[in-house]
């Protein structure tokens, strides 16, 4: 059973060199993310392409970030840093599990092969990095999710400028278009189709900022007998809409 939670690598949009949109785009397009599948932890994990998952409103028309090593190399050369030789050391934090370490190593190797970037460091701290290079961390590996099955709630916790994720992991990310769409959607009723439409538009606007490397979406066991149907749990293992649960006795 998939739950509304995903693990991703978030790029600080206000810290060198990921303050340059072309650098961010190059870093993302240089990764063949199919290769990241082998880094997923055990369990029913799924490849992530977008932030939303396991909630009404997942964007079926979402355009995944492409893998294009040549285009990525060109973007990096066109950036304000001029190429790999002009980049500072790229530092990743949140590399605190074996699977995260494997993923970070794979990403770093893709950058080395496809962009010529050799200076990449990885640290285990996730909530904050208090080392001497704290001001230089550009990439955080961390999860985002939703305790209720709602696309607007999910995205407000991930990419709205007021969210902890935007303020910290994304380095003060603020896109007025994203904020306005999510704010407008938040006051609409759950059965208003415009609510989901606005959430999807906000997520697409975020996509164009090239600020995250999608990794995987998580699953969990239902911990229920096979005859128990329509059971869906949230991040706290609480059952959504328990009145819909059915028990089929053979």
Residue 5, strand partner residues: 145
Task: Give yes or no for a contact between 17 and 119, defined as CB atoms under 8 angstroms apart.
Answer: no
How many CB atoms within 10 Å of residue 118?
13
Structure-model confidence comparison of residues 130 and 148, the more confident one:
148
Q: Nearest 5°: CA angle at 165, between 73 and 211? A: 15
- Summarize pLDDT for 12-48 with one digit per residue, the tens: 999 999 999 999 999 999 999 999 999 999 878 999 9
pLDDT at 111: 99
What is the mean predicted confidence (pLDDT) over 169-189? Answer: 98
pLDDT at 115: 99
Lookup result for tokens 């040549």: 70
Predicted TM-score of the model (pTM): 0.89
| Alpha-carbon gap, residue 207 to 11, rounded angstroms | 12
What domains can you pick out in the chain, each with its CATH number? Answer: 2-219 (3.10.105.10), 224-250 (no CATH)
Peptide bond into 17 cis (omega under 30): yes
Report in angstroms the alpha-carbon separations of 5 from 102, 180, 216, 217, 248.
20, 24, 9, 6, 29
Supply the mean pLDDT for the chain: 91
pLDDT at 134: 78
What is the mean predicted confidence (pLDDT) over 75-85? Answer: 99
pLDDT at 221: 47
DSSP output for 7-33: EEEEE-TTSTTTTSHHHHHHHHHT--G
Structure-model confidence comparison of residues 110 and 224, the more confident one:
110
Q: Is the pLDDT of residue 133 over 60?
A: yes
pLDDT at 199: 99
Q: How far is CA 154 from the centre of its chain?
A: 12
How many CB atoms within 10 Å of residue 99?
20
**Residues near 26 by beta carbon (within 8 Å), at least 6 away in sequence:** 72, 73, 75, 76, 79, 115
Task: Give yes or no for a contact between 157 and 146, defined as CB atoms under 8 angstroms apart.
Answer: yes
What is the mean predicted confidence (pLDDT) over 210-220? Answer: 91
Half-sphere exposure of 232 (CA within 13 A, CB side): 13
């Amino acid at each position: 059973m998939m739950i509304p939670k995903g693990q991703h690598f978030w790029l600080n949009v206000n810290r060198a060199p990921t303050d340059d949109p072309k650098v961010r785009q190059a870093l993302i397009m240089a990764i063949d993310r199919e290769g990241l599948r082998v880094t997923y932890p055990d369990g029913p994990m799924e490849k992530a392409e977008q932030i939303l998952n396991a909630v009404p409103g997942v964007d079926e028309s979402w355009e995944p970030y492409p893998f294009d090593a040549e285009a990525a190399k060109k973007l990096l050369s066109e950036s304000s840093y001029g190429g790999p030789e002009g980049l500072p050391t790229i530092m990743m934090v949140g590399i605190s599990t074996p699977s995260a370490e494997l993923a970070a190593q794979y990403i770093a190797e893709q950058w080395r092969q496809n962009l010529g970037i050799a200076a990449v460091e990885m640290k285990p701290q996730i909530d904050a990095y208090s080392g001497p290079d704290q001001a230089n961390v550009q990439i955080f590996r961390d999860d985002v999710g939703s305790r209720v099955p709602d696309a607007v709630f999910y995205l407000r916790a991930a990419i709205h400028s007021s969210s902890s994720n935007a303020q910290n992991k994304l380095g003060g990310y603020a896109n007025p278009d994203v904020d306005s769409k999510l704010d407008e959607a938040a006051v609409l009723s759950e059965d208003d189709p415009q609510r989901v439409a606005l959430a999807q538009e906000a997520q697409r606007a975020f996509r164009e900022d090239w600020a995250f490397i999608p990794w995987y979406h998580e699953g969990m066991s239902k911990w229920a007998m096979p005859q128990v149907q329509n059971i869906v749990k949230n991040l706290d293992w609480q059952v959504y809409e328990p009145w819909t649960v059915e028990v089929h006795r053979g």
